[in-house]
C-alpha cells in the first residue's frame, strides 16, 4: 500500500524554504538545503513544487495576500468609520496603517530579499502590483473622504492618492531594511499628521491631534507598566 501523504509537508517545506532563502538568497539556495531544513526528502519537495522559485513565489504571494486582505477590510469598513465622526475616521486610518506595517515587519526578511536583490529581481513586479493596488485604494478613500467632507474640496484625488501612497511606500521600504523594530506607532502618527495637514479639513486635523495624543499616551503607559 502507498504511504499516505503528510498533510503538514507543504507547510514544513515552505517554512524550511523561507529560512534558507533568508539565509542564502534565492540564487544560492538549494532544494537539498530546503528539504533538510524541513526534515523531508527531495521527492516530497517535488510533489508540491516544480522549482525552488515556485516555493519562493508562494511565500511572497502569501505575505502580499495578507497585506491585501488588510486593505480590503479597511475599505469595506470606511463607511462605518465615517459615520462615527472625524476622530473615528482618523482612528480607522491609523489602525489600518498599524496593521499593514506590523504585517510588513513580520514579513520583512522576505520583502527585504526582494527589494535588495537577493537573486530574486524577477519578483519585483509582485511588489509593484501591490503598490499599484494600494494607490488605487488610496484614491477611492480620498474620493470618499472628500464626499463626506473630511478632506479638502479642492483636492485632485489622483494626485492626492499618489502623494499618500508614495510616501507610505517609501516608509515601508525603509521599515523592512531596519534591523531593530522601530516605534511603528510614532512613525505612523507622524506620517498621518503630515498627510492630514495636506489633505484634511481643519476639523479633521483637530480630531487627528486628539487621536494621536491619546494613542501615544496609551502606548507610553503600556511600555512603562
Phi then psi for residue 6, to 5 deg, are -80, 115
> Residue 25 in contact with residue 118, Cβ under 8 Å?
yes
C-alpha closest to that of 128 among 115, 119, 137, 139: 115
Q: Supply the pLDDT for residue 6.
A: 75
Residues, the chain, total? Answer: 225
pLDDT in tens, 100-140: 999 999 999 888 888 765 555 567 777 788 888 889 989 99
Cell numbers placing 125: 513586479
> Residue 192 in contact with residue 93, Cβ under 8 Å?
yes
Cell numbers placing 80: 462605518
Domain identity same for 210 and 140:
yes
Indicate the residue among 32, 49, 66 that finishes a domain.
Answer: 49
Domain identity same for 35 and 65:
no
CA distances from 182 to 185, 189, 217 (A): 9, 13, 17
Distance CA(133)–CA(140), nearest Å, equals 11
Distance CA(159)–CA(169), nearest Å, equals 15
- What is the percent of the chain where pLDDT is above 90? 69
Domain identity same for 1 and 68:
no
Output the CA torsion 106→186→167→140 (10° steps).
80
Domain identity same for 143 and 169:
yes
Domain identity same for 10 and 66:
no
Cell numbers placing 165: 501612497
Q: Supply the pLDDT for residue 191.
A: 97
Domain identity same for 17 and 28:
yes
Per the prediction, the chain carries an average pLDDT of 90
CATH for 8 = 1.10.10.60
H/E stretch holding 128 reads helix 124-148
Mean pLDDT of 66-83: 90
Domain that holds residue 167: 52-224
Q: Supply the pLDDT for residue 26.
A: 83
pLDDT in tens, 152-206: 999 999 999 999 999 999 999 999 999 999 999 999 999 999 999 999 999 999 9
H/E stretch holding 168 reads helix 157-175
> Residue 89 in contact with residue 153, Cβ under 8 Å?
no
* This prediction's pTM: 0.87
CATH for 165 = 1.10.357.10
Domain identity same for 38 and 134:
no
Domains in the chain, number: 2
Domain identity same for 64 and 35:
no
Q: Supply the pLDDT for residue 120.
A: 54
> In this structure, what DSSP letter does residue 121 have?
G
Indicate the residue among 34, 49, 64 that finishes a domain.
Answer: 49
Map residue 52 onto helix, strand or coil.
helix
Amino acid at each position: 500500500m502507498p504511504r499516505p501523504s503528510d498533510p503538514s509537508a507543504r507547510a514544513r517545506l515552505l517554512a524550511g524554504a523561507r529560512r534558507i532563502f533568508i539565509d542564502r538568497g534565492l540564487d544560492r539556495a538549494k532544494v537539498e538545503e530546503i528539504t533538510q531544513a524541513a526534515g523531508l526528502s527531495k521527492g516530497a519537495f517535488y510533489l508540491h513544487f516544480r522549482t525552488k522559485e515556485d516555493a519562493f513565489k508562494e511565500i511572497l504571494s502569501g505575505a502580499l495576500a495578507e497585506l491585501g486582505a488588510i486593505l480590503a477590510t479597511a475599505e469595506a469598513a470606511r463607511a462605518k468609520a465615517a459615520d462615527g465622526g472625524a476622530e473615528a475616521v482618523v482612528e480607522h486610518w491609523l489602525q489600518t496603517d498599524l496593521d499593514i506595517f506590523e504585517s510588513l515587519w513580520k514579513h520583512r526578511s522576505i520583502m527585504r530579499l526582494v527589494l535588495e536583490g537577493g537573486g530574486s529581481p524577477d519578483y519585483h513586479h509582485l511588489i509593484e502590483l501591490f503598490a499599484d493596488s494600494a494607490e488605487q485604494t488610496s484614491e477611492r478613500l480620498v474620493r470618499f473622504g472628500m464626499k463626506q467632507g473630511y478632506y479638502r474640496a479642492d483636492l485632485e484625488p489622483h494626485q492626492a492618492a499618489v502623494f499618500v501612497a508614495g510616501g507610505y511606500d517609501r516608509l515601508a521600504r525603509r521599515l523592512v531594511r531596519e534591523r531593530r523594530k522601530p516605534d511603528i506607532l510614532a512613525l505612523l502618527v507622524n506620517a498621518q499628521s503630515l498627510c492630514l495637514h495636506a489633505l484634511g479639513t481643519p476639523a479633521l486635523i483637530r480630531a487627528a491631534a486628539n487621536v494621536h495624543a491619546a494613542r501615544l499616551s496609551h502606548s507610553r503607559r503600556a511600555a512603562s507598566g
